[in-house]
Amino acid sequence: MKIYIGADHRGANLAHQIYDQLKQENKEVEYTSIPTTQTDDYPDFAFDVCKNVQKNPENLGILLCGNGIGISIAANKVKGIRCARVVNEEDAHHAKNHNGANVIAFGSLPIDKAMDVVHTFIDTPNPTEERHLNRINKIIKYEQGEYNEL
């Protein structure tokens, strides 16, 4: 598993701190190569990270912007990405274990709280319960144009 991290100018400082801590924990982590500027656009970071997450079903992504909303919307436009905006550990757990999220997004948090959220996301197992898998498969089928039972 490789973890990809990206952030616009409003999330860059925290994103770099998360990256540094994950590196210290010997996690395989890569920071986006897109430069951060005062006039950058969060979709660019979302698309870059998510294209990398797409490459392997075990990869995960972490995205940061002002509040996590915009960057999560952009991330969910990338085929195969299920990005959840999270604000705490419970959100991170449910995002991955119930909804099969492979990317999380959030905004400004204290570094210790952010690391709790990140560790929860990384350590939470993927969904195994039939009801969760059924819902995720509906999303995947809809994305592929195969599910239209509305």
* pLDDT tens, residue by residue, 125-134: 999 999 999 9
Instruction: Quote the Cα angle for 59-61-63, to 5°.
Output: 175
Residue 139 belongs to a domain: yes
Q: Which of 106, 101, 78 is nearest to 8 (CA)?
A: 106
Instruction: Report if pTM > 0.85.
Output: yes
The pLDDT assigned to 22 comes to 98
Residue 71 belongs to a domain: yes
Domain count, the chain: 1
Calpha distance 63→50 (Å, rounded): 9
The pLDDT assigned to 150 comes to 64
The boundaries of the domain holding residue 58 are 3-143
Task: Sheet containing 29-31: give its strands across.
Answer: 29-31, 3-7, 60-64, 103-106, 83-85
Residue 130 belongs to a domain: yes
Residue 24 belongs to a domain: yes
From the list 9, 16, 94, 98, the catalytic residue is: 98
Q: Can you name the residues that pair with 85 across neighbouring β-strands?
A: 105
The pLDDT assigned to 76 comes to 98
Q: At 69, list the tokens.
A: 């909303």
- Is residue 65 flagged as an active site residue? yes
Calpha distance 32→103 (Å, rounded): 14
Residues of the chain with pLDDT under 50: none
Residue 148 belongs to a domain: no
Give the HSE-up count for residue 130: Cα atoms under 13 Å, Cβ half-sphere: 0
- Is residue 9 flagged as an active site residue? no
The pLDDT assigned to 147 comes to 78
